[in-house]
Chains A and B, each alone.
Chain A
Amino acid sequence: MKNMERDAKFRLDRFLLTNLVPLIFIGLSMVAIPISQFSGSYLVQEMLIRLARNAFLVLSLLIPIIAGMGLNFGMVLGAMAGQIGLILITDWKIIGLPGMVLAALIATPIAMALGWMCGVILNRAKGREMVTSYILGFFINGLYQLIVLYGFGKVIPIRSADLVLSRGFGVRNAINLLGIRNCLDNLIPVSLQGIRIPLGTFLVIGVFCLFIVWFRRTKLGQDMRAVGQDMDVARAAGIPVERTRVVSIVISTVLAAYGQIIFLQNIGTMNTYNSHEQAGMFAIAALLVGGASVARATLPNVFLGVILFHLMFVVSPMAGKYLIGEAQLGEYFRVFVSYGIIAVSLVLYEWRRARDRAYARRSLRGGEA
């Protein structure tokens, strides 16, 4: 009874709070699109491309959220694994779809190992998973650089001269992925009124969505949800909490590796030492823009988020140029928005959590009196 009263009272501000971020973004876009003077069909094409490019990466974030581990900043680990696969197939000159699948196959064990490591470390840092996985990303980035900059060409043979730095070892800064460029996007060529639709990639993304829907219903998925809600209760119910958490991170890392491969197959060139860092940030920002929180994320959040975030991304430099005469300003604006949105979402989440805690404490005290 008391609970219902509270719910009714808070409904409007709750709605605003939970949807604050997407609402802000829709508002910003509505202002920025006319200023940017982009045509409708250009934007639609651009959004379709970016949806195909990014959706898989963003989807890979969902499973750790179910398990209550927050935003998996450790997804960059998966991205790195994917990139190692791509470097190898580029060196071996494996072309087209087989090349992509082979890259994914190579990336899988690496991503599994990294994900397992990440999961074990996060189990030692319960309650601060996000910051730990974030730093872990940096740490593994160091190891990645060590391997790619010094290992490749020395320990791991690289034959192709296009890939190796002039000093004889280490991979070049930019790698041309001409062999697999757009091979998934153009697998089934479809276009509608001059707008190309990367159907192949959308099919893969669709299968992935079905996988997530199915996964939530499995025993493992249910366990994860239980772990996410309350670890102690889950443990009492006989769920192996630590193991479940590790599995969720492993799945997320492997999927992030695939996501990164799909992402780079669309882009067509790989920044050996930067691509993965951006992957994490943009995926997380996009998910949050879609209205997800640290504790709850759904499939619609993913797609809405990718569209809104990348709309802003495309539009803001031009809007900045026309508005203030400085494209650089729009450039900085979108960087600010990406980071700001993560900050705002994290604050909202923690604030709500603190408020709920305070409420629980108060009602506990009230009960005693």
Chain B
Amino acid sequence: MLKREGEVRIPSGCAISAIIDRDGTRFSGADIIESIALMHDRSNGLGGGFAAYGIYPEHKEYYAFHIFYDDNDARVRTEEFLFRHFDIETFEQIPTRKVKSIRHAPLIWRYFGMVPQSKMRKNDYDADEYTARCVIRINNTITGAFVFSSGKNMGAFKAVGYPEDVGEYYMLDDYKAHTWTAHGRFPTNTPGWWGGAHPFTLLDWSIVHNGEISSYDANRRYVEQFGYKCNLQTDTEVITYLFDLLVRRQGLTLETAAKVLAAPEWDVIDRMPDEEREICTALRAVYSGALINGPFSILVGFKHGILALNDRLKLRSLIQAKKGSKTYFASEESAIRVICPDPEYIEAVDGGTPVFIPFAEVTD
């Protein structure tokens, strides 16, 4: 069985990076690999990963499931479930390249599936909700199987290893995306396993995170009331579910969701104009269980764009840069300059201040 995370405490940090082409032009994974590779020393070889948006235009109407299996037996049981719950258009092993440092790989498959009409008629919820429930069910009931990506026209690629090796392993230079995010892991508190590498995903949500969520357990209890299961013992997982809950299920805007997660401090709220003060007070009261405490910088990818967010006390570095139609984020300025030597704009992202970069409408 895949070793899930245990009890050993390993304190330290991580690296994150992202590139978005706001015009929707797709480009290979070479640049994002170069950016995250520059921050090699921020991770320790126990996890690296990427999320790529716009990579499957030929299957863009289908949910793309990326799944780790411990063994063939887990695959057979999962496929039995998948083929019963989805119309699977095509499936295959995800192509990988031999990389010396990437070892103990599980079986890695992908499936492109659509929710059958018959299932839709039976349920009072939509295809996204149906799919999310199926993903949660596989991850919690089928031993040895782990769905690590389930969005449309996007995919996560992750492994135990340094991120640049993970990028080479999955041959990301062969994919073209309009948005890439990347993560180099230095596991805090727990050792790493393949599923525990970032990004953490559900549907088209993907999160890469540098930091540590000290409110994890309060947040976990909160989202579990809504049917999510946090069993990875990894704090980032809960952020993914918070965004899915607040934005997809409850219909908050991304900016409002960001205000819930990194809520303004009470003395800042006290100084706000009446209407804004009332809204922020209500948000803090209603969503106290969704407030994230602790040091974090996160990059959230989803179907409408990318959101960068720092904790309110600015305990992690995060830099934003722009050049032409591209926007860049990285934990360190040098990781942007190595792929974009002369940005037109380069600034730190302020604590508690969300930066949202929407995608352009992508036409294929």
Asked if chains A and B come from one complex, the reply is no
Residues of B within 8 A of A (CB): none
Residues of A within 8 A of B (CB): none
